[in-house]
Structure 1
Amino acid sequence: MGVESLSATQDLFLRDGIMDIGAPRSAQEYGKGKVFVRNGIKLGFVSATFSLNGKPLPTGQEFRVHTSKLMSRYVPTDLELLRAQIADCKMRGCDFIVASIHWGVEFEFFPRLRQIEAAHALVEEGVDLILGAHPHVIQPVEYYRTKRDPNRIAVIAYSLGTLTWGWYTAPHLILSLIMHLKLAKGHVGGEPRTYIESAKPNPVVPLRRRPSVLTC
């Protein structure tokens, strides 16, 4: 809906204490992660979208959305923007890194091979949780044991479905997932570690006549 509407949305988030990701306000914020501390755990958030639905950002405002060629048919998957954000989160001492990625093919029930390869690469770079969106249907949740730390299991939700879409023409378009995670922070071999203690994907369906969600 344009940069003005993006800024208006961010203003509302700021008013209500909601942290936005993926939409830098200034060029200096581009390629940087967002950091949130809760219960002594420093969480880093990185993000990217493969598309703006064919609507280019205005000249001079290209930094306003983290956009990468994640799904192009013509060039390899570009992870450099996400890698830059991961490096920024590491530099700022984050205990746990979450990647929010807008990618995938609409209405397909499984991720493409290149997405799986990209997800594994991001996890080995330092991401601990991937939350995917765009296909509008649920795709598998993968529990991936990392090579960088044999004790670490990363969670990759390739597509959580959708919570704010108005198409309810088929059952598979109604069902979505919300990931509930519990983290544990401590020391392993004298080194500080933060691991996923539990991960539960909860199915939800939106109520057609009310602006809310029904938990199954």
Structure 2
Amino acid sequence: MTKKLFIPVFILIILVSCQSNPPVQDHSTVLKTHVFDKKDFKRIEEVTVTIGAIGDVLLHQRVYEKAAKTDGTYDFDPMFKKVAPLLEEPDFLMANQESLPGGVELGLSTYPSFNSPKEIVTTLQKLGVDMVIGANNHALDRGISAIESALDFYDEIGMKYVGMYRNKEDRETNRIVRVDDMTIGVLAYTYGTNGIRIPIGHEHVIAMQDREQMIEDVKKLEGKVDLLIVHMHWGNEYERQPNDQQRESAQMLAKAGVDLIFGHHPHVLQPIEKITLEEGHETLVFYSLGNFYSGQKYEFTDIGGVATVEVTKITDGDEITIRFASPKIEPTIVIQKEDGFYVMPMYLVEKSAITKTTYDQVVDHTLQYLHKNNKN
């Protein structure tokens, strides 16, 4: 390097010294050198996870009696075999456990006061369900003993739960999970408990839809998670469109900072909607996920689905942005056979047995609000 520089300079000196003209002044510019530190570069990182949820798991007697074994246990695995691939796709999957799995010890029961076999939870866990939702109108059907029995079993098998709690301490424990490099907070609430009063001394057992409390819970998680999910047990049963109360609650939660809302209770699928606030915050609302597994025979109640959305976390220095992509509900259907009730992807079935609804009609129904927004 030194030799390459030295030769040209030496020649230049000789040439200048040989000229009779006065020496030329040097007007060359001195370049300033800036040494960059690592902190001067913003490192942009992205991570994408698929969030999933399924609707009501509601076991009527006609459903669980077909899963009974001669030794007194229950086996639901065969009933979910066809739908298993769909449930394996999400990185984090939640399910609405509508009928409480208090177990045979308390005596199984059906509508209007449900108590289900614990084995249904084991099957869900095998299929990839990571968390069950316990806030619903049937939560107190069989009292505190059924709740405690179910929670004991959840703890025994390592199943996460939200919306139903042992006590105040459990209620105040944040439900935060980490998937890849994304932290996710989950909350769940119900509009009521079918008129059954929460027993004195157990005020924290079920999370109710109290506006002030919900906002407080959301703010408590703010800054601790990248993605905030709320499950709402709301709406009118068997209605395929959200009512005013659902829309108002969704707006309220969006303004509070919630990112994803999954709805339950109508027992039929309702559309997906994206709420965009003036400040740019987006909230994705799945108004109702319908029945995932039940024996109901009203119109559209045999159709449910696996709701999924790709969530991307973009980290740019200290700034974090959340983006949604490909929100959808992949339709599923419950088929009654002689030996049981089977849930399977709807694309394997020509039409719904009850309403004769086709796969394409169901997909169009769930996406109608999103399609409308895209046209606007």
Normalized against structure 1, the TM-score is what? 0.85
Evaluate the alpha carbon distance shift between residue 189 and residue 198 of structure 1 in structure 2; reply closer, same or farther with a 3 A threshold. farther
* Root-mean-square deviation (Å): 2.0
Q: Amino acid of the residue matched to residue 184 of structure 1?
A: T
Matched, 1:156 2:285: yes
Pairs aligned (count): 203
Out of 176, 196, 199, the residue aligned to residue 35 of structure 1 is 176
| Mapped partners of 2:298, 2:305: distance in 1 | 18
Report deviation, 1:101: 0.6
Q: Amino acid of the residue matched to residue 208 of structure 1?
A: Q
| Mapped partners of 2:173, 2:305: distance in 1 | 28
| Mapped partners of 1:167, 1:215: distance in 2 | 18
| Mapped partners of 2:182, 2:304: distance in 1 | 28
Tell me if the contact between 2:185 and 2:221 (Cα under 8 Å) persists in the aligned partners: yes
Residue 75 of structure 1 corresponds to: none
Matched, 1:142 2:273: yes
Residue 73 of structure 1 corresponds to: none
Report deviation, 1:153: 3.5
Evaluate the alpha carbon distance shift between residue 4 and residue 162 of structure 1 in structure 2; reply closer, same or farther with a 3 A threshold. same
Q: Amino acid of the residue matched to residue 39 of structure 1?
A: D
Report deviation, 1:31: 5.5
Structure 2 residue ranges without an equivalent (≥5): 1-141, 347-376
Matched, 1:117 2:248: yes
In the TM superposition, what whole-angstrom CA distance separates every residue of 1:149-206 from its partner, at most 9, and x where no partner exists?
x2x5321011111123321243x11111221122211235851123223322111112
Tell me if the contact between 2:294 and 2:334 (Cα under 8 Å) persists in the aligned partners: no
Tell me if the contact between 2:290 and 2:301 (Cα under 8 Å) persists in the aligned partners: yes
Q: Amino acid of the residue matched to residue 20 of structure 1?
A: Y
In the TM superposition, what whole-angstrom CA distance separates every residue of 1:17-50 from its partner, at most 9, and x where no partner exists?
2210001222134365411111111100111101
Residue 11 of structure 1 corresponds to: 152
When structure 1 is superposed on structure 2, of 196-205 and 26-35 the one drifting more is 26-35
Normalized against structure 2, the TM-score is what? 0.51
Which structure has more RCO (C-alpha within 8 Å, separation ≥ 6)? Answer: 2
When structure 1 is superposed on structure 2, of 7-16 and 116-125 the one drifting more is 7-16
Evaluate the alpha carbon distance shift between residue 212 and residue 196 of structure 1 in structure 2; reply closer, same or farther with a 3 A threshold. farther
Structure 1 residue ranges without an equivalent (≥5): 69-77
| Mapped partners of 1:111, 1:132: distance in 2 | 10
Structure in which a larger fraction of residues adopt helix: 2
